[in-house]
Amino acid sequence: MKRSVSLLSNLLLSSTLFWGVPTAQGEILGPGEIVKVPAENAAYCHMKFPAMHENSLSLAYPVFDDGAVHTVDFYGSCDYDPLGIEEIRTQRRVILRGIYEEGE
C-alpha cells in the first residue's frame, strides 16, 4: 500500500512539473546563426550560437566556425556580444584546456 501511494504521489508531482515546462523543440543552427530568446525577466536572454573559428580568435574581427559541431549555450545579459572580447577570452580558455588536458 505504501509503495502504491508513493508511486502515485511521485507520478502526480512529476506530471505537474512537466506540464508547467514548455515543450523543447530541437533547433539546428545555420552558419553564423544566433538564436536569442528573452527570458521572463527582460534583462536576461537565452542565446545559442556556433563556436568561433579557432584561427580567427587572434584577429580583430573573429568569425563563427561554419562547420562547428558544438554550439555555445549562453544564459545572461541580452546585450551580450557573441563576438565580443569576453567570448573570445572564454573560447581561448576552452581551447587551452583541451590542448593541455586541464579540462574536466
Distance CA 82, CA 58 (A): 15
pLDDT of residue 102 exceeding 80, the answer is no
pLDDT band at 68 (very low <50, low <70, confident <90, very high): confident
What is residue 11's predicted lDDT score, i.e. its pLDDT?
62
Distance CA 15, CA 9 (A): 10
Tens digits of residue pLDDT in 5-14: 676 676 665 6
pLDDT band at 26 (very low <50, low <70, confident <90, very high): very low
Tens digits of residue pLDDT in 77-92: 888 888 889 999 988 8
Distance CA 83, CA 56 (A): 11
